[in-house]
Structure 1
Amino acid sequence: MREAATELLAEMPAGSNVTDILLARHRQDPAAALYARKQDGVWTDVSTAELLGQVSALAKGLVAGGLRPGERIAVISKTRYEWTLVDLAGWFAGAVVVPIYETSSAHQVQWILQDSEAAAVFAEDEAKEEVVRQAMAGLPRQPRIYRMSGPESGLDALREAGAAVTDEELERVRSLATLADPASLVYTSGTTGRPKGCIITHGNFAQLALNTTEFLPEILKAPGARSLMFLPLAHVLARAVQVICLAAGVKMGHTANMAELIEDLGSYRPTFLLVVPRVFEKVYATAQQKARAGGKGRIFDAAAATAVAYSRACDACNRGAGAGPGLLLKARRAVFDRLVYRRLRAAFGGEVCYTVSGASALNPRLSHFFNGIGVPVLEGYGLTESTAPAAVNPPGANRIGTVGLPLPGTIIKIADDGEVLIKGIGITPGYYHNDEANVEAFTEGFLRTGDLGTLDEDGYLTITGRKKDLLVTAGGKNVAPGPLEDALREHQLVAQAVVVGEGRPYVAALLGLDPEGLAGWLAGAGRDPLDLQAAATDPAVLDELQHAVDGANRLVSRAEQIRRFSVLHTELSEQSGHLTPSLKLKRGQVVEDFAREVDGLYP
């Protein structure tokens, strides 16, 4: 199949905008809890009426402060309830909201403020405010700064100032924007080149939210549905999911402290989660390490194999290629459920019915593992330019290894060269002030994704790699690095893997160690701690990594196998400049910064 589409299931009224979603929820049930805030360790519900009141008061403050409809306001903060208030209040005041990752440097912030021509900036705390002030040096336009927390909160000042603005004036500015107007400028993560401001319209957010709710009713319309957001709200995927939850009436909580994530999952007990692949990888590696350290490694490995086998049997049945798990496999799974699986489910809060994985590819074996233990993983696909979700696996018809079916109102087409092209309700109208990028991004109304993929006979999309990531060895062999890297990251010791070999005689890899995984592995082996530099040359560590490479090599042909590898002496992280805030690898940056190590793999 070369093209697949799903018909639109719902439409926003003409002349409306994303703020009408909150107003509709208020009309339906003003007392319903839409959010929960954690204060002094206790989750407190925020009703729809309370949320609307807080948003309106803040929006009036923006109007009183001179903000004009269509002007841009930036937000630099980690994920928290106040982020949501500013986002919604900005829309109610007619503003275009510009998210900035809270880990951004002053140089990065400066470019976004300059390019977006922001009139105001909401900074989470004093430290973020200082970054913004550094970024403002030399800017032709000096935006106003509002601090979001602390004793001198700009939010409190705005609420006080907003008392002078009438409900009629707020309604006037709120209703000016239509579905075609910009709601946000989301700057691309910059894996290549300078970040571009991607225009996300009110229609992109709102139409996507309504149609996703209708497409995934088992998740979003389930009684008592609730989710805990711990991904950065500066990422378009997290933001889109938040609007989806608002449209569906799903109660949302926030946490940004990763050290408290397990505790928050246990106290909030979400029914579904948005998760990036690295979280699944870490949960699996940590559980495996703990089992081995406690002398239960063989039990864990058997439990993992059973979970994968059970999920594969279910998956085959979903595809019409099998009868599902047999009695013996069901019995084995029941035994391991008591011994292993229920404890792993508890790590997600104990009540998770579904997880949605996005932002990057998830290794199919990991997906089978979590499906098999009772934490179903529905993998989806999208880009900043598609307002994140463009395809997703629906509950009850999940096909592991694919990223699912087109969302309603979306068409996915495979070009002659294998590139995935998308058209639909979530697709950006273009980049802000960047005509050259717009010409490159679109062809005949379809967005060029830069990803390679296939569609099966039922319209399920499988992503096979990135056009720019595809390696061609000196012998002319095309190698997709993704499957090898995914398999290597499953190992406890490996945080990141970068497969290289462009124009080289064979395939090789750079491996970045996981500090936590290394500490656990050494403790399990009864050894003293090692820093990353010492571990990179330790014979036992290198031998264990060779086993990981051998395992990955079994997944590919001989010509695609990794012949040599080098262990990096430093950690690849967002702070080092080698990962994006959504934990995607900046492959080009890694290869550039570690060119000497790459050359050393080819003596």
Structure 2
Amino acid sequence: MVAAGDGFLRRAEGWGDEIEETINVSLDAEKLPAVPAGEGRGLFLEDLDDDHPVAWIFTSGTSGDMAKCTEISLSNMDAAIENIRNLDFLVEGMVAHCPLSASHIFAFVVMTAFISLKPRRVLLSDVQYLARLPQKKTGKIDAIILVPIVISRMRSLFYERLCADFSVEKVPPGLEKLARLPLGLRVFLKRLCRRAEEAVIALEAGRLAGWLCLPLILLARILFGRMVRQRMGSPSFMVLGGARPNLQAMAFFEVMGIRVLQGWGMTETTGPVCVSTLSDRRSGALGTCGRLFPGTTARIDGEELVVEGTQIAKGYVEPDGTLAPFNGLQRTGDRAAFDHRGRLKVFGKVSDRITTDNGLNYLPLPMEDDLKAADLKKLNILEEVVVIGDARPRLGCVYFLREGVQKTAAREEYLGGLIREFNASRPVDQQLGPWTVSARGLKESGGLGPSGKLVRRRIEEQYGVLYADAGD
């Protein structure tokens, strides 16, 4: 038996005697079963027990250890689907694009819930081909699901092309009009867009940021918004999950006219247990994950987020087939807090904290963000910066260059200058010592997990030789 979508149905039927039966799995609204949108259990057999396992999902998270198998029950899925369906931005007849792997918990649960709402169309693709799927190929879409690293890369690519020297580079298709503008003017427009990002962040935080805020945002949107939106199918909004997003990258897409919503969840919580909403604006919502779904409670234990509720999966399936139960509670490993409106804000992993061998503790994310922001103002050649130094005499740094950027002596000198500028404003114990430029990309170095999260421990292990070379 073979299950085939509409696009492959004719080919599958042509296989003849090689298969016994062909089943058409269609997302065409006219072919979907006549199940009312409110009946979530229409997705599963009616006689299943609440405890029945309906999904096993393998995930390695950010630990780099052997993949764990999480068992999700019918009651977990029912709760997750019901909560997602009640979000204010999901309605029947929408068109959604999900370029994430089906094993990504956000993709798995959100798409399952979305299909139960009878969408007009769902596009399932691969994030590495996202650039090949502009609106002229996908048609107009309403929503897209992404992970933070993708929007950071898209923002960096936009600024790279905006300031490219087209006198020595081939003009990419669709950028002919942009290439006619003088380079000096395009550099000025980059500064304008960056100012517009800061204006969005200020407005969303409820701060006064001068009378130029709205004109800057409007001008940047008029100049570039349509081009950026059409590259993605002109979605009205995007939903981010899987890691902590960069606030400036979120603001960039807000400037361009795409509402950016952030959710938080894990495989162990059957996907998102909170997502910000379209109606929550200009009150500090940007950069938060919204309020917890009904049926979920949470507390902060020290710095760590601890979650309980109906969406907590049954447990881990061990290699011998036994179940290590969660008993309705999950220690997430995430550093988090709740704001005065009850919205969740996640800062990173508890395990990200670096403790040098003199007992001093550091949070690497703000340092990494500062270095990436400094590069974006200048050459914009960095994909990622990873601060290391756990159990070492001092902090260090590994640079990862963007795809297509070659490692040269001049660029190494430039990156060394970023370190010197960074250190100049900090006390000695907060300065970066040994550093290097990786010869491989972040993914090729094993620094990215399956869901796009940074696997910091692998970078620490691979580049610990820095300290030996530096004599530390």
Bucket of the pairwise TM-score, normalised by the shorter protein: 0.7 to 0.9
Correspondence 1:480 to 2:363? yes
Aligned 8 A contact 1:392 1:403 in 2: yes
Correspondence 1:511 to 2:399? yes
Correspondence 1:470 to 2:342? no
Aligned 8 A contact 1:403 1:462 in 2: yes
* Counterpart among 365, 379, 382 of residue 262 in structure 2: 379
Cα distance, 1:325 vs structure 2? 6.9
Cα distance between partner residues in 2 of 1:553 and 1:240: 44
Deviations 1:329-378 (A, max 9, x none): 2223222222223322222222x111111111111122222222212211
Aligned 8 A contact 1:255 1:261 in 2: no
* Counterpart among 85, 94, 98 of residue 213 in structure 1: 85
Where does 1:426-575 land on structure 2 (aligned, <5 Å)?
A: 426-433=311-318, 442=326, 445-488=328-371, 491=376, 492-516=380-404, 518=405, 530=406, 535=407, 538-546=408-416, 548-549=418-419, 559-573=429-443
Aligned 8 A contact 2:76 2:311 in 1: yes
Where does 1:284-299 land on structure 2 (aligned, <5 Å)?
A: 284-294=155-165, 295=183, 296-299=185-188
Deviations 1:103-155 (A, max 9, x none): xxxxxxxxxxxxxxxxxxxxxxxxxxxxxxxxxxxxxxxxxxxxx97976999
Matching residue of 1:347: 231
Cα distance, 1:576 vs structure 2? 5.0
Matching residue of 2:99: 230
Deviations 1:359-405 (A, max 9, x none): 11111122222222212211111111012212221222151232222
* Counterpart among 303, 320, 325 of residue 418 in structure 1: 303
Matching residue of 1:600: 469
Correspondence 1:197 to 2:69? yes
Matching residue of 1:580: 449
Counterparts in 2 of 1:486 and 1:149: CA distance versus 1, 3 Å: farther
* Counterpart among 251, 257, 277 of residue 368 in structure 1: 251
Matching residue of 2:241: 358
Cα distance between partner residues in 2 of 1:347 and 1:247: 28
Mind listing any 5+ residue stretches in structure 1 that lack a counterpart? 1-56, 60-79, 86-147, 161-170, 519-529
More divergent stretch after superposition (292-301 vs 502-511): 292-301
Counterparts in 2 of 1:471 and 1:275: CA distance versus 1, 3 Å: same
Q: SS at 1:454's partner residue?
A: strand
Matching residue of 1:157: 20
Correspondence 1:255 to 2:255? no
Cα distance between partner residues in 2 of 1:153 and 1:182: 35
Aligned 8 A contact 2:205 2:286 in 1: no
Cα distance between partner residues in 1 of 2:467 and 2:253: 35
The one-letter code sitting in structure 2 at the alignment partner of 1:408 is P
Matching residue of 1:245: 114
Mind listing any 5+ residue stretches in structure 2 that lack a counterpart? 24-41, 166-182
Matching residue of 1:333: 217
Q: SS at 1:220's partner residue?
A: coil
Aligned 8 A contact 2:106 2:272 in 1: yes
Deviations 1:398-442 (A, max 9, x none): 512322221222112111x21101112321011113799976x85
The one-letter code sitting in structure 1 at the alignment partner of 2:187 is R
Counterparts in 2 of 1:549 and 1:308: CA distance versus 1, 3 Å: farther
Cα distance between partner residues in 2 of 1:154 and 1:193: 44
Cα distance between partner residues in 2 of 1:369 and 1:392: 20
Matching residue of 1:165: none
Aligned 8 A contact 1:262 1:348 in 2: no
Counterparts in 2 of 1:597 and 1:185: CA distance versus 1, 3 Å: same
Q: SS at 1:303's partner residue?
A: helix
Equivalent residue pairs, number: 423
Counterparts in 2 of 1:548 and 1:285: CA distance versus 1, 3 Å: farther
Cα distance, 1:595 vs structure 2? 3.0
Counterparts in 2 of 1:207 and 1:464: CA distance versus 1, 3 Å: same
Query: Which structure features the higher share of helix residues?
Result: 1
Cα distance, 1:199 vs structure 2? 0.5
Cα distance between partner residues in 2 of 1:230 and 1:315: 28
Cα distance between partner residues in 2 of 1:504 and 1:433: 35
More divergent stretch after superposition (197-206 vs 327-336): 327-336
Deviations 1:567-591 (A, max 9, x none): 1122232x55432222222222232
